[in-house]
Chain A
Amino acid sequence: MSEPGSVPAGTAPAITGEDIAAALRRAAIRLVGLRDHLNRLDAEVGDGDSGLTAEKGARGLLAYLDATPPGDDLGKWLAGAGMAYNRAAPSTMGALMATAFMRAGKTVMGQAILSPHDLAVMLVAADQGLQERGKVKPGDKTIVDAVHPAAEALMSAVLAGQSLDAGAQDMLNAARAGRDAAVALRGQVGRSNWVGERTEGKTDPGTVLFVSALEAVLNAQPSESGRAQS
């Protein structure tokens, strides 16, 4: 708690802008390193550039983090982070990521400190934004297959009064399970829809991107999915 005076005593732990910035930095660095892996996964189901796009977007995000301190309105600052990602990578995935940031940011406009409940609300809003913007739903074999269960898990944990650490672990487990469950699915949208049944048994790069970013955010051990392929 960097500003203990601003939070009533006895409430849940406060998350500061610096905490969020540090977490986003870890996620962005992780995405840069994932470039070749994501490209390989995408070559199987799409047009093979999702690693390049992720790297470009993540570098845009890193530049934003370097140039822009969180300040006292985390909502605006997060929307700005999304725009930086999108500007660096104005692809479909770039637009989706920016939407997720923007929708998450909208829920905490004007706030400088976040509660675990805020985090859960942000993730739910990001999930809804992804579904609306991408015109997809869980089961379509997209990033949403990892984001949606993660958002639900974090929200349930927070509402049940669990600790943030426990909620975070639930969230990560749910995201990993969503990623692994999506392997067997057939792609329904975008380029992977044209490829049709060839996507069955293949790992969706969007789910890997989200789980990897989440692992970096939580300082968790990196995991590999796609066991269903072997």
Chain B
Amino acid sequence: MSDTNLKRIVIEPVTRVEGHGKVSLLLDEKNNIKQARLHIVEFRGFERFIVGRPYWEVPVLVQRLCGICPVSHHLAAAKAMDIIAGVDELTPTAEKMRRLMHYGQMFQSHALHFFHLCSPDLLFGFDADPAIRNVIGVAQKFPELAVQGVMMRKYGQEIIKVTAGKKIHGTGAIPGGINKNLSIAERDALLKDIDQMVDWSVAVVKIAKDYTLDNVELAKTFGTFDSNHLGFVREDGAMDLYHGNLRAVDKDGNKIFDQVDYKNYLDYIVEEVKDWSYMKFPFIKSIGPENGWYRVGPLSRVNICDFIDTPLAEKERKEFMAITNGKPNNMTLAYHWTRMIEILHSIEKIKELLNDPDLQGTDLVKKGKRRAEAVGLIEAPRGTLFHHYKVDENDQVTMANLIVSTTNNNTPMNTAVQKVAEQHLSGKPEITEGLLNHIEVAIRAYDPCLSCATHAMGKMPLIVSLFDHKGDLIDKKAKE
């Protein structure tokens, strides 16, 4: 298709998401959408520059993929490095400290997304004035809600701090275990506010639920499409965000595969390369690139699990599944509701863990016989996160393959962008800011962490720029 007669609109940067992305829209002379794409415009190159590093460094190093969910990368890498270190099962203290860290991460990240990034769309409307359509606007108009959001996120960050050493880029998990336990003083400080956090979590599920139900006609269509769903579940089918086996279902809930040991992920998942994004497009191998793509994250996890093992979240899950008669829910906007079900589940898990005396145990690290290759997976806030490493006899990493949560959602986000562009922009005489924000609302539902997703090496058409000591550009050469 030649785009010479087409009009180009670019949303750049995509805001109120974590990271760097842009949307390009091509419209014909009647403003009909010809093409709508989400481009990932950054690359950083982690998979390559990890090579050569000592394996014990990796759980700390890969956190820098992401400042929003560093814990997820930290733990996925640590799980892989446990295997490299020859440890199949951690001590109860180590396993539970890591779980506490992970649920703290889930709690803060979901709070961040809901209150700081997406609530302005839900509270003020998708085409509200951009001057107020942000967390500051929320703080001014709904101060109580804003404070609640800030305090919930803070609580999650405090949990990360006491388990990982600091709030962002901590060092808690090490191959074979953990480097600290939870002191009684730390535990008691967290227990002081736990009931308040549970109450606020129940309240915020209600906000997300009421929003969806009040706007159910919109939710049924807004960026909505059928898809497969992927994630992992415990052996008994329960939601488990820290560890489990892979399960994939189709749009109707039929299982594509189930209880797959994730170390065999190469038999199931591949990633397609397209020339217009640095982010690859994963799909299920047996189905193929056309129809094998899938969604991950809160919506998929609630869709695929058989039950949630904490009572308040399970009650909410049942209510959620009832609106689609137990079948998977394929509404993009339903991500928000399920994300809040997970926030409730996470705080219930945190409460359970804080009351567990194993966290004061002193047996922190195990050792075993060194191995050469390992896969570590975790359910990060945004979905299933794959880390795969090979390590040589000199303890140096020789191969790293990362499929981050947001990469798994690449085709779904593009499908949502295309859908919303067709539904809301196509044929309009004027494309307003508010209309363009509709596209961002659809992207935001996935809580994309474009920061993580930029890890992959892109093609690097080279620009060499030469600067003088004052920082002035004196020469620039580009090479395709």
**Physical interaction between A and B:** no
Chain A contact residues, CB within 8 Å of chain B: none
Chain B contact residues, CB within 8 Å of chain A: none
